[in-house]
Chain A
Amino acid sequence: MSYEEIENADVILLWGSNAREAHPIFFHHLMKGLDNGAKMYCVDPRRTSSSKFADVWLGIDVGTDIALSNAIAREIIHAGLTNPEFIAHSTQGYEEFAASVEPYTLDVAAEITGVPAEAIREVAHAYATGAKSQILWTLGITEHHNAVDNVVSLCNLALLTGHVGRWGSGLVPLRGQNNVQGGGDMGALPDKLPGFQNIDDAGARGKFEAAYGMELNPKPGIHLTLMFEAMERGDMTAAYVVGENPADSEADIEHARALLSGLDCLVVQDIFMTRTAEMADVVFPASVAWAECDGTVTSSERRVQRVRRAVTPPGEARHDLDIMVALADRMGVDLGTSDPQSLWDELRTLSPAHAGMSYERLDDGGLQWPCPTLDHPGSPFLHSWLWADDLEGRDPAPFSVVEHEGPKEQLTDEFPLRLTTGRSLDSYNTGVQSNGFTSPIRYGEALDINPGDAADLDLSDGERVQVSSPRGSVEMGIRIQPDIPRGLTFTTYHFPDLVDVNVLTNDAWDKRSGTSEFKAAAIRIDKLDTAPVVPGADGSQLDASGSRG
């Protein structure tokens, strides 16, 4: 979908996304939609700054999204608000799906999710009857152990109503990093070649083998989470980390750091001396991709745009491509040119979706893939084939039967509070980029807690406390926040040098996406003068890993 489309939507379902802070300029487009009369429903455990613009905020319990979406589906079916023509023509598996959501009555879902039955009913009716309805989501859906189930449960709603594959209606996963879309497009996935062509497809592979003049390994690789498991088994003993800071960003961070420090060889290529770089045997200083290099990145609306060199990199810093080509050269492999435009033109001969995107055409605001030919205008949205009489030769889109599970880590007497994590407006991920400027609205790291829970624990605003999960403890201040429901706590993870939040988070992960459950850990808060001594709480484990010197 294109950002422009939300300006013309009738119903916006913002689910597990605080776009007002995490995607601020996308939210400008969303606000135009609201100004133009759209209704917005916001599903989020927190009363976020985004949800304050919504007509209705559905304050869901963390990790109960499928119970909510299945109940919305059931209500749409029972109210006769499906699109039967679309279901018959463009989908498969409806009967089985309809039977599977039958137990999710409004009352059952209200009990599981904490959202009032009447609000669930209202969002179901509004979404189904809207002329142009969109569902948007981000990490509130995907950072769970059942991430893929969460996503397909939202897709089910679009298939029920036909709100997909048309201008203005659709499913919108908002991308969190400036080129996470482009990385996948370019084949930085374990089982894909550039342009989402499968590595185990001999035909696709043959095309690349002919272009590269060498045989390619047909076996899919493994994703980051499986790499850590391979390190644990001793199957993986070396890592080459490019522009990533896993020693701060992984869930259950102490465990991840121990595995990284146990490698025989760790090579880090980065623009910062990150914590991961400090652990490395070799560091390649890279230049800043968006200000010191030429190239392309791809945005959340599949828009390929050019980045350009504006300043000369300092010292020995070099373009990522130069470093890789030079490294290959030392290993006796000639990768050819490292010129960004030449490599882009090579990619265009191999990825049909990008074939029409010359540098000249990209110059003026970029193009959205697929863009197969030089005279193709680019594609504002996907899946229009669902509406073609012959489905363009494809199989109908399948409904997916998914059941509510809840978070892996249940609350217990010992760990009675839910911890969820997210971004704040002025900061970004582990803070290596965003902590460089002085923000007047930055408050550092703090645990947000409901006033009632704070009173029960005899805590005052700003008090430093010990926060513990089954994996470890950290010391941090609290912020008493009326926007946080009872039983829930929230923190960002932007300041790992101040508070090692990922000591607490759960690395239970989704077997298909590889994403860890950053959104749901069970914790306990202890006042500092009565806190039990927990290994790691005083930072001793950090010293033992050598990572902080």
Chain B
Amino acid sequence: MTKTDDHAETVTQVTVTIDGTDVTVDDGDTILDACNAHGVDTPTICYAENLTPVNVCRVCVVEVEGNRTLVPSCSRPVEEGMEIQTDSERVRHSRKMVLEFLGSGVDLSQATEINEYSARYGADLSRYGDDRQVIDEPILIQDELYIRDYDKCVLCYQCVSACGDDAQHTFAISVAGRGFDNRISTEFDAALPDSACVYCGNCVAVCPTGALQFKSEFDLRQADNWREEDQTVTTTVCSYCGVGCNLELHVQDNEIVKVTSPVDHSVTHGNLCIKGRFGYTYVGN
């Protein structure tokens, strides 16, 4: 019997040098993949493991020998013999500047990872003045599931990618406007319940700053009762259809306060639907 089976793939290997050490990775991997494989902790804001890189934030830049400019490690594929510097003065300075520019126009108070990077690179978020709210508009609460706080948006595009062809294929949101008016919007700025949104929450799950937030989390934060340090996170399986999505139940005071999914799970890649994300409210009732 002859059967066609082109499942087996042959992958060639590539060797690069990261900060003076040889690292061998698969051809087609990015510099960021190589850094991760080698244990070099690289800051990222617009990059997510489950999304196609859009390389807009420039915080992951590295120096590559022979390249005039710094290159974004999240999207630059490795090449045989590449010499990469991840912690040079030029790289550190550039990362610090990127963080300070973000701090000049955005409320980063809930951006835990970005704040860790700022500490690491000595970025002074008030360097360009304390009066740094450029959008300054009320928090949008249009339903019982999400809130939108544009003051916190760093325009990393992750929500747009998750809603679009990286996962959900709903295309309810995109980037509208130019310059300072640049912002994430529904079609014609429609209220979310009137837009194409199907409330999967995959945009909220990838937001690095809290600009998009589950209302359950927002309400607890407003009541000054969001206590991540007291929360447990338990991985289990969704109770609805038979696809078998893994859920991470974030529990505080014996109540589910948020549901996420592991990015590295082969079924969900971090994504859920409205039922898996929000259909837990009967637990404990």
Taken together as a complex, chains A and B put the C-alpha atoms of A86 and B1 apart, in Å, by 7
Question: CB-defined interface of B157-182 with A at 8 Å, one 1/0 digit per residue?
Answer: 00000000101110000000000000
CB distance from B246 to the nearest CB of A (A): 7
Question: CB-defined interface of A152-172 with B at 8 Å, one 1/0 digit per residue?
Answer: 000000000010001110000
Question: CB-defined interface of B194-238 with A at 8 Å, one 1/0 digit per residue?
Answer: 000111100000000000000000000000000000001011111
Question: CB-defined interface of A415-435 with B at 8 Å, one 1/0 digit per residue?
Answer: 000000000011110001110
**Chain A neighbourhood of B278, CB < 8 A:** 437, 439
Cβ-defined contact, A178 with B274, below 8 A: no
Cβ-defined contact, A176 with B273, below 8 A: no
Residue A31 at the chain B interface, CB threshold 8 Å? yes
**Chain B neighbourhood of A312, CB < 8 A:** 254
Cβ-defined contact, A311 with B283, below 8 A: yes
A window 1-28: CB within 8 A of B: 3-4, 8, 22-26, 28
Residue A305 at the chain B interface, CB threshold 8 Å? yes
Taken together as a complex, chains A and B put the C-alpha atoms of A85 and B1 apart, in Å, by 7
| A23-B242, A297-B244, A437-B281 known; A166-B5 Cβ under 8 A | yes
Cβ-defined contact, B274 with A441, below 8 A: yes
Partner of B284, one of A85, A289, A311: A311
Residue A530 at the chain B interface, CB threshold 8 Å? no
Residue A374 at the chain B interface, CB threshold 8 Å? no
| Interface range on chain B (Cβ under 8 Å from partner) | 35 or more
Cβ-defined contact, B274 with A426, below 8 A: yes
Taken together as a complex, chains A and B put the C-alpha atoms of A434 and B199 apart, in Å, by 14
Q: Please, which residue of chain B has its CB at the minimum distance from the CB of A363?
A: B235
Residue B138 at the chain A interface, CB threshold 8 Å? no
Residue B240 at the chain A interface, CB threshold 8 Å? yes
Cβ-defined contact, B275 with A434, below 8 A: yes
CB distance from A295 to the nearest CB of B (A): 10
Residue B101 at the chain A interface, CB threshold 8 Å? no
CB distance from B267 to the nearest CB of A (A): 6
Cβ-defined contact, A428 with B267, below 8 A: no
Residue B243 at the chain A interface, CB threshold 8 Å? yes
A window 359-394: CB within 8 A of B: 365-366, 387-389
Cβ-defined contact, B234 with A288, below 8 A: no
Question: CB-defined interface of B1-16 with A at 8 Å, one 1/0 digit per residue?
Answer: 1111111000000000
**Chain B neighbourhood of A366, CB < 8 A:** 244
**Chain A neighbourhood of B142, CB < 8 A:** 440
Taken together as a complex, chains A and B put the C-alpha atoms of A181 and B243 apart, in Å, by 10
Residue B184 at the chain A interface, CB threshold 8 Å? no
Cβ-defined contact, A425 with B274, below 8 A: yes
Taken together as a complex, chains A and B put the C-alpha atoms of A301 and B144 apart, in Å, by 33
Pick the most buried of A31, A89, A434: most chain B CB atoms within 10 A of its CB: A434
Residue A548 at the chain B interface, CB threshold 8 Å? no
**Chain B neighbourhood of A492, CB < 8 A:** none
Cβ-defined contact, A178 with B234, below 8 A: no
Question: CB-defined interface of A128-170 with B at 8 Å, one 1/0 digit per residue?
Answer: 0001000000000000000000000000000000100011100
CB distance from B222 to the nearest CB of A (A): 18
Cβ-defined contact, A25 with B237, below 8 A: no
Residue A90 at the chain B interface, CB threshold 8 Å? yes
Q: Please, which residue of chain A has its CB at the minimum distance from the CB of B2?
A: A85
Cβ-defined contact, A28 with B241, below 8 A: no
**Chain B neighbourhood of A289, CB < 8 A:** 239
**Chain A neighbourhood of B265, CB < 8 A:** 365
Cβ-defined contact, B244 with A299, below 8 A: yes
| A28-B271, A310-B236 known; A167-B5 Cβ under 8 A | yes
Partner of B249, one of A271, A306, A310, A427: A310
| A85-B1, A166-B3 known; A28-B284 Cβ under 8 A | no
Cβ-defined contact, A162 with B236, below 8 A: no
Cβ-defined contact, B235 with A300, below 8 A: no
Cβ-defined contact, B237 with A290, below 8 A: yes
CB distance from A536 to the nearest CB of B (A): 30
Taken together as a complex, chains A and B put the C-alpha atoms of A181 and B193 apart, in Å, by 35
Partner of A434, one of B6, B167, B266, B279: B279
**Chain B neighbourhood of A271, CB < 8 A:** 282
**Chain B neighbourhood of A439, CB < 8 A:** 145, 199, 274, 278
Taken together as a complex, chains A and B put the C-alpha atoms of A94 and B137 apart, in Å, by 70
Cβ-defined contact, B273 with A441, below 8 A: no
Pick the most buried of B239, B255, B271: most chain A CB atoms within 10 A of its CB: B239
**Chain A neighbourhood of B98, CB < 8 A:** none
Q: List 29 A-B contacts (CB under 8 A).
A: A24-B273, A25-B245, A25-B273, A25-B276, A28-B167, A28-B269, A168-B5, A168-B7, A175-B243, A178-B237, A178-B238, A178-B240, A179-B242, A290-B247, A297-B244, A310-B236, A311-B249, A311-B251, A312-B254, A313-B284, A365-B264, A425-B275, A426-B199, A427-B275, A428-B275, A428-B279, A433-B282, A439-B145, A440-B144
3 A-B pairs with the lowest CB-CB distances in the bound complex, closest first: A299-B244, A175-B242, A24-B273
> Which residues of B does A touch, CB under 8 Å?
1-7, 142-145, 165, 167-169, 192-193, 197-200, 232, 234-247, 249, 251, 254-256, 264-269, 271-276, 278-285
